[in-house]
Amino acid sequence: MSDLADFVTLLSEPGPWTFAYCDGSRREFSRSDLENDLLHADAPGDDVAPLLRAFDEAATSHVSSPVRYIIVRGGELIVNAALSGHRCHREFAGHDSIPPVLPMLWHGRDFAATAMRRARTPEEHVQVGGTRAVMQAVQRGQVRMLMLDVRMWTSEKTLEALAAEPWVDDRERTDVAGYGPVAVAEALARAALLSGARVVVEDRADEAARSARAARPPRAILSETVVESAAPHAPVMAA
């Protein structure tokens, strides 16, 4: 599976999941590094074995896309995707209640770029900005497109990932089961995708190199039918 739309269907399914994101062209992430990460994450042996097999097979293959995202659940290899483009993040492996969203989003940037071009029409669009305002709009199903600075994935701030609608909150809930706290960018991206919104990961490497400023806050373009009612106390701006 390497299609973002197919990957989204997994995000609502129960875990836990064991995963690895690695770059075979650089060989910076060795098999022992992978095993150590999985050991520290308490990944079950039934998951580790098929993941290592996929990792070993990827190392000996000659595919044109050396970056790979591997996901295992319950001892079954679910995703073994050779992804195009350069790596967006350090290599990692782990075991958690939800699989990380960033690799599939980043390497689906052709899809994302198309979505962004479609959004830039002459008509006016209304946006909300900031974590809380965007989260509220996502919860209400009002987001047409979510835009996230790739640098947000380095933040230690978290939101609660939920097992059902509204998919995300800033605290545990008694009416919806939770998967625990995850990084803000991961939580918002997952919830937006599950609610049918498009998600664009923005990368302005030159700007980031020139400036030590923090990542830009998340922004969301709202659906036309909810412009007036979305996030009434949030800062609203015309795109």
pLDDT digits (tens, 9 = 90+) for 74-116: 999 999 988 887 787 788 999 999 999 988 888 875 444 444 4
Q: Is the pLDDT of residue 199 over 50?
A: yes
* Beta-bridge mates of residue 161: 168, 180
- 230 versus 95: the higher-pLDDT residue is 95
- Tell me the angle at which helices 31-40 and 45-60 cross, rounded to the nearest 10 degrees: 160
Give residue 179's pLDDT band: very low, low, confident or very high (50, 70, 90). Answer: very high
The residue type of 189 is: A
The CA distance from 54 to 82, in Å, is: 11
Mean pLDDT on 37-55: 96
Distances in Å between the alpha carbon of 129 and those of 156, 185, 186, 201, 225? 19, 14, 17, 15, 18
**Total-model pTM:** 0.82
In what order do the strands lie in the sheet containing 198-202? Answer: 198-202, 143-149, 219-222, 126-129, 236-238
Cα-trace Rg, the chain: 18
- 60 versus 90: the higher-pLDDT residue is 90
Helix (H, G, I), strand (E, B) or coil at 32: helix
Q: Which pLDDT score, from 0 to 100, does residue 111 have?
A: 44
The DSSP-derived string for 65-88 is --EEEEEEETTEEEEEEEE-S---
Q: Which pLDDT score, from 0 to 100, does residue 104 have?
A: 87
Q: Where are the domains of the chain?
A: 4-107, 109-238
Q: Which pLDDT score, from 0 to 100, does residue 85 have?
A: 78
Q: Which pLDDT score, from 0 to 100, does residue 194 have?
A: 95
- 59 versus 167: the higher-pLDDT residue is 167
Q: Which pLDDT score, from 0 to 100, does residue 195 have?
A: 94
Q: Is the pLDDT of residue 196 over 50?
A: yes
User: 171: buried, middle or exposed (CB in 10 Å: 19+, 13-18, 0-12)?
Assistant: exposed
CATH number of 109-238: 3.40.50, 3.30.1330, 2.40.160, 1.10.8?
Answer: 3.30.1330
Using one digit for the tens of pLDDT, what is the confidence trace for 108-162? 754 444 444 444 544 557 889 999 999 999 999 999 999 999 889 888 999 999 9
Per-chain mean pLDDT for the chain: 82
Place of tokens 């008694």: 174
Q: Which pLDDT score, from 0 to 100, does residue 226 have?
A: 56
Residues contacting 137, CB < 8 A, separation 6+: 128, 143, 220, 222, 230, 231, 234
Give residue 176's pLDDT band: very low, low, confident or very high (50, 70, 90). Answer: very high
